[in-house]
């Protein structure tokens, strides 16, 4: 599969939705991708099963608070510098890269560096959406090491990280990203081709492109872009349930940057009055309550979207008065397994609610 300008825009739209409010706004990543397309014509994306078992496959993406990324632009050199240094650390060239998370700007992040390295991007990622912390990647859940990893910043700073466990790795990397201005690029979880095939969430890049294309084509034809999005998500096989869980206007918003995260709460009120939805977020939207009752929770996706355009609104771009639909989708099955829920379920974020699938909470029966 090749990604041209149209597919790049579709990927940006789809990844914004899959970010569940996080992963960073894809706008800047899309601009960098468009600039690179003037040089390479298209980006190469390959399926997981095409990888040799002994290939070196490297996930990468940005770490930090999305609110910072709105004002602090990347230099454009961070990813390539980190990947080159990892090659030195391991002592061999990288054969392919993939997004550490398909959500938001991180879903597009590997494209330019892969083209500069002359390697493909794998149609897979490590989260199937976006999560706020590194150890929430499926690779950690399945017992793989994040190290050696390389963290780079726009100022030129480069740090190689080696730790005994992946939670310590997250804390070290988070602290460095805060010290370097609140946002940095990280190359982590170096994989063999066999490990990538066994553990990565395959098909997520193409699923994001399909979701974005569905919205684009529906807009052009005058059809409902939301219904087109739901159909595309279901057809992907990764996100078997999707639908609207609320419709209204943002009437209250609390947001702050704390500990390298964008943390807060947003309240949406229905247009007729009487109903309200409360969303809590830590970079990503984590839990949605309608009139006090939980209707969606991590790891399932919760995305705030403009009700007229079906544009996804990341948590750093939420504003009072926005007219929105809250859309939910079932997470990939791998994230709903008992072992995964220890890392990405409600309890991992301090919520006392036991995980219940979004389709059960909303009575959705069509897969």
Q: What is the CATH number of the domain that holds 145?
A: 3.40.1610.10
* 71 and 187 housed in the same domain: yes
Mean pLDDT of 199-213: 98
**Residue 64: which region, alpha, beta or left (left: phi > 0; alpha: psi -120 to 50)?**
left
Q: How much is the mean pLDDT over the chain?
A: 94
pLDDT of 285: 96
pLDDT of 70 reads 58
Judged by average pLDDT, the poorest of 123-132, 161-170, 175-184 is 175-184
- Residues 9 and 98 occupy one common structural domain: yes
Assess if residue 163 is contained within a domain. Answer: yes
Among the three residues 202, 219, 252, which one is the final residue of a domain in this structure?
202
Non-local (6+) Cβ contacts of 11 within 8 A are 3, 26, 107, 108, 205, 208, 209, 212
Domain hosting residue 61, numbered range: 2-202
The domain that holds 257 is classified in CATH as: 2.40.390.10
Judgement on whether residues 315 and 176 belong to the same structural domain of the protein: no
pLDDT of residue 154: 86
Total structural domains within the chain: 2
Q: Check pLDDT > 60 for residue 367.
A: no
Asked whether residue 100 falls in the same domain as residue 170, the answer is yes
Closest CA relative to residue 301, chosen from 278, 272, 338, 326: 326
pLDDT computed for residue 145 by the predictor: 98
Same domain, 147 and 65: yes
Shared-domain flag, residues 186 and 249: no
Q: Examine residue 342 and state whether it is found in any structural domain, yes or no.
A: yes
343: three-class secondary structure by DSSP: helix
Among the ranges given (112-126, 170-184, 198-212), the one the predictor scored with the smallest mean pLDDT: 170-184
The answer to whether residue 81 scores a pLDDT higher than 70 is yes
Residue-level pLDDT at 77: 86
Q: Is 214 helix (H, G, I), strand (E, B) or coil?
A: helix
Same domain, 8 and 142: yes
Which pLDDT belongs to residue 4? Answer: 97
């Amino acid at each position: 599969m090749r990604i041209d300008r149209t597919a790049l825009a579709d990927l940006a739209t789809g990844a914004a939705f899959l970010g569940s409010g996080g992963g960073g706004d894809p706008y800047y990543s899309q601009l960098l991708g468009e600039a690179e397309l003037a040089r390479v014509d298209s980006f190469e994306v390959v399926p997981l099963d095409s990888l040799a078992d002994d290939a070196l496959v490297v996930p990468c993406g940005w770490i930090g608070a999305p609110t910072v990324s709105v004002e602090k632009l990347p230099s454009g050199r961070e990813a390539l510098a980190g990947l080159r240094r990892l090659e030195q650390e391991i002592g061999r060239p990288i054969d392919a890269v993939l997004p550490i998370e398909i959500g938001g700007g991180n879903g597009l992040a590997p494209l330019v560096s892969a083209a500069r390295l002359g390697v493909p991007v794998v149609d897979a990622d490590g989260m199937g959406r976006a999560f706020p912390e590194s150890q929430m990647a499926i690779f950690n859940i399945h017992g793989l090491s994040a190290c050696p990893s390389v963290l780079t910043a726009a100022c030129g700073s480069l740090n190689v990280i080696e730790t005994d466990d992946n939670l310590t790795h997250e804390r070290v990397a988070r602290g460095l990203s805060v010290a370097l201005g609140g946002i940095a690029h990280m190359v982590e979880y170096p994989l063999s081709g066999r490990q990538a095939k066994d553990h990565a969430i395959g098909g997520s890049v193409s699923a994001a492109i399909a979701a974005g294309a569905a919205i684009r084509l529906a807009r052009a034809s005058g059809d409902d872009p939301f219904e087109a999005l739901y159909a595309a998500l279901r057809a992907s096989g990764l996100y078997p349930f999707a639908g609207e869980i609320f419709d209204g206007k943002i009437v209250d918003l609390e947001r702050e940057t704390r500990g390298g995260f964008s943390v807060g709460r947003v309240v949406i009120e229905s247009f007729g009055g009487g109903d309200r939805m409360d969303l809590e977020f830590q970079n990503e939207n984590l839990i949605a309550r309608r009139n006090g009752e939980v209707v969606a929770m991590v790891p399932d996706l919760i995305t705030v979207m403009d009700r007229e355009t079906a544009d996804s609104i990341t948590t750093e771009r939420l504003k009072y008065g926005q007219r929105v639909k809250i859309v939910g989708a079932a997470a990939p099955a791998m994230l709903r397994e008992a072992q995964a829920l220890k890392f990405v379920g409600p309890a991992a974020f301090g919520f006392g609610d036991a995980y219940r699938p979004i389709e059960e909470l909303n009575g959705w029966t069509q897969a």
